[in-house]
Amino acid sequence: MEKNAEKKVKFFDRVKKNEYYLKWIKSPFTYLTAAILLALFQIITLAATGNPWGVSGVFAYWGAWIVELFGGSVDKWYYFASPGAQATLDAGILEHAGTWRNLGIIFGALATALLASGFKIKKIKSKKQIIAAIVGGTLMGYGARIAYGCNIGALFSGIASLSLSGWVFAVAMFIGAIVGSKLLVKFFM
């Protein structure tokens, strides 16, 4: 039993020193590498699904499926009234390509953080921090829905699709980031 434990320790010691682990998992990517990977993922997503990459729209469908799971109906809601939306709802959560992409993002980010030893549970400093997180998350979610996309769907996919709305979103997001940062420093730091 002890020999197995020693073998495991030696294996992980070798992995920690491996040049590929250090380069691709432990170290952060350069901006250029990250940009190229994002562009490749966008191309693959568009080719595989016929739709540009989107994240926040999937959450609207997840919410609708949860409402339906508890006996509610979203058929009359404006957002889900189109035949395409109805077909997506009828197909179910596991048949939705966006569900698999979002789950991949969530579990991929967790796996990457764990592999890079970057996962940390931090102590909540104050009630202000909780309030800021709830208010900020709610405003971001609401904004993503009224803009028909978040920084991925409305900005990244919008610009990649040569849409003017992507550039308008970029300007508005830049201004919002400046204002939000100043408010964060003033009220919560």
Indicate the length of the chain as a whole number. 189
The predicted structure's pLDDT at residue 65: 94
Q: What does the pLDDT read at residue 9?
A: 64
Instruction: Kindly compute the dihedral angle of the four CA atoms of residues 107, 111, 112, 114, in this order, to the nearest 10 degrees.
Output: 140
State yes or no: pLDDT of 6 exceeds 70: no
Domain enclosing residue 97, as ranges: 52-121
pLDDT at residue 171 greater than cutoff 90 = yes
Tally of domains in the chain: 3
Whether residues 24 and 34 fall in one domain: yes
User: Of 7 and 81, which is predicted with more confidence?
Assistant: 81
- Kindly state the average pLDDT of the residues 157-180: 89
Boundary-marking domain end, from 50, 65, 86? 50
Q: Which long-range contacts (CB under 8 A, 24 or more apart) does 144-153 make?
A: 144/56, 145/56, 145/60, 148/57, 149/54, 149/56, 149/57, 150/54, 150/55, 150/56, 152/53, 152/54, 152/55, 152/56, 153/52, 153/53, 153/54, 153/55, 153/56, 153/57
> Are 153 and 100 within one domain?
no
Q: Indicate whether 117 and 128 sit together in one domain.
A: no
Whole-number pLDDT of residue 168: 92
Do residue 2 and residue 40 come from a single domain? yes
Residues 117 and 134 in one domain: no
Residue ending a domain, among 84, 105, 121, is 121
Claim to verify: residue 56 and residue 116 sit in the same structural domain: yes
pLDDT of residue 71: 93
d(CA 115, CA 15): 11
Q: What is the pLDDT of residues 26-64, one digit of tens each?
A: 777 788 988 898 888 888 888 888 888 888 888 889 999
Task: Give 152-165 pLDDT, tens digit per residue.
Answer: 888 888 888 888 98
Specify the pLDDT at position 103.
92
Same domain, 94 and 134: no
- Whether 43 and 61 share a structural domain: no
- Read off the pLDDT band of 145 (50, 70, 90): confident
- The residue from 63, 93, 121 where one domain ends is 121
The whole-angstrom separation of Cα 11 and Cα 171 is 49
pLDDT for 37 equals: 87
CB-count burial class (<10 Å; 0-12, 13-18, 19+) for 150: buried
Distance, in Å, from the CA atom of 34 to the CA atom of 42, rounded to the nearest integer, reads 12
Pairwise pLDDT comparison (118 vs 65), residue with the higher score: 65
pLDDT of residue 69: 93
Q: Which residue has the higher pLDDT, 153 or 66?
A: 66
**Is the same domain home to 135 and 178?**
yes
Is the pLDDT at 1 greater than 60? The verdict is no
Same domain for 102 and 152, yes or no, is no
Regarding whether 94 and 42 lie in a shared domain, the answer is: no
pLDDT value, residue 67 = 94
For 83-129, what is each residue's pLDDT tens digit? 988 999 999 999 988 899 899 889 988 887 887 777 788 888 888 88
Does 66 lie in the same domain as 18?
no
- Distance from C-alpha of 75 to C-alpha of 58, rounded to nearest angstrom: 17
